[in-house]
């Protein structure tokens, strides 16, 4: 089943077109990574998909439900109630963790669940379950500043997973981490992939993307320049792609 579909997404900032008609779809259970040079529009695409930014043009749908469509040159978003339902289908993990510093780890994970209507008891049960899965059972009472970057990122993954999304978006989940901590976060994402969690991952970690992805999308200057299986992209004869992958994978 197609969980996410984006058609002809366009977005400008200050008169400059940053996304120039991007179309992509993600099926249930697929892991898709988005790669490309800095400034190519990867984060903007993710933000449009998650509705943190409004599109200037295009169609966005989740599991067949239309979140936004275009009419007479304008993008119309679904009703507040419909979008609330649609937002439940996805979760987000950012580069900088975005944890509340004045909340304990436990509260960081329970609060969004309770806002979504769960009882405190159920939210805590789920939180402990997620913490255990991510190897953080002993950190429930800690505050974010008492954790390493890798642990904080795992808490933010636990927080997202506790809401039981159908799709998880990651925007450079390891770029704020040193290599050792990067490894522990990549392991968590690998485990999620093995469990067939549907994920869209913006990353500069080429070897990780190659290993974990079913499909890779290479963006440049606001367009998708290449798309395919990791094997297809890594064996591509496209000079631009070759130089980008070669440079970032350190070959
Ligand atoms: N809110 C904004 N206002 C104005 N310009 C923006 C805004 N967000 C992004 N841009 C511009 O859009 C372009 C694409 O940015 P984006 O963050 O999507 O790139 P990226 O591919 O994620 O890059 P990186 O790999 O460095 O994270 C950049 O030129 C950026 O300056
Ligand atoms: Mg970015």
pLDDT in tens, the chain (251 residues): 999 999 999 999 999 999 999 999 999 999 999 999 999 999 999 999 999 999 999 999 999 999 999 999 899 999 999 999 999 999 999 888 789 999 999 999 999 999 989 999 999 999 999 999 999 999 999 999 999 999 999 999 999 999 999 999 999 999 888 888 899 899 999 999 999 999 999 999 999 999 999 999 999 999 999 999 999 999 998 889 988 987 665 54
Assess whether the C-beta atom of 108 lies below 6 angstroms from ligand 1: no
Considering the entire predicted model, what is its pTM?
A: 0.93
Assess whether the C-beta atom of 200 lies below 6 angstroms from ligand 1: no
- Three-class SS state of 99: coil
Establish if 94 belongs to a structural domain. yes
Give the chain's domain count: 1
Residue nearest to atom 1 of ligand 1 (CA): 13
Q: For residues 186 and 250, give the distance between their C-alpha atoms in angstroms, rounded to a whole number.
A: 18
* Phi-psi sector, 72: left (phi>0), alpha (psi -120 to 50), beta: left
Assess whether the C-beta atom of 42 lies below 6 angstroms from ligand 1: yes
Establish if 68 belongs to a structural domain. no
Taking the centre of ligand 1 as the mean of its atom positions, its distance from the CA of residue 113, in whole angstroms, is 30
Establish if 212 belongs to a structural domain. yes
Q: List the domain range (segments joined by +) for residue 101.
A: 29-41+87-249
Q: What is the CATH number of the domain that holds 231?
A: 3.40.50.300
Establish if 57 belongs to a structural domain. no
Taking the centre of ligand 1 as the mean of its atom positions, its distance from the CA of residue 38, in whole angstroms, is 8
The token pair at 80 is 């507040």
Establish if 16 belongs to a structural domain. no
Establish if 96 belongs to a structural domain. yes
Q: How far apart are the first and last CA of the chain?
A: 37
Establish if 160 belongs to a structural domain. yes
Establish if 6 belongs to a structural domain. no
> Dihedral sign, CA of 155, 160, 164, 165?
negative
């Amino acid at each position: 089943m197609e969980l996410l579909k984006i058609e002809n997404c366009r977005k400008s900032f200050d008169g400059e077109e940053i996304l120039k008609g991007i179309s992509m779809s993600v099926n249930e259970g697929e892991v898709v990574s988005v790669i490309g040079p800095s400034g190519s529009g990867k984060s903007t695409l993710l933000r449009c998909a998650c509705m943190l930014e409004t599109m200037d043009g295009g169609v966005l749908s989740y599991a067949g439900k239309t979140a936004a469509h275009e009419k007479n040159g304008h993008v119309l978003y679904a009703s507040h109630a419909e979008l609330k339902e649609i937002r439940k289908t996805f979760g987000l993990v950012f580069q900088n963790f975005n944890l509340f510093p004045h909340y304990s780890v436990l509260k960081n994970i329970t609060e969004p669940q309770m806002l979504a209507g769960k009882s405190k008891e159920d939210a805590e049960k789920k939180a402990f379950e997620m913490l255990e899965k991510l190897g953080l059972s002993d950190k429930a009472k800690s505050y974010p500043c008492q954790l390493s970057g890798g642990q904080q990122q795992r808490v933010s993954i636990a927080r997202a997973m506790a809401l039981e999304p159908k799709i998880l978006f990651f925007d450079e989940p390891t770029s704020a981490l040193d290599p050792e901590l990067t490894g522990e976060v990549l392991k968590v994402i690998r485990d999620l992939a093995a469990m067939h969690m549907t994920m869209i991952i913006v990353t500069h970690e080429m070897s990780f993307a190659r290993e974990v992805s079913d499909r890779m999308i290479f963006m440049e200057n606001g367009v998708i320049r290449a798309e395919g299986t990791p094997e297809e992209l890594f064996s591509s004869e496209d000079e631009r792609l070759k130089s980008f992958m070669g440079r970032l994978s350190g070959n």
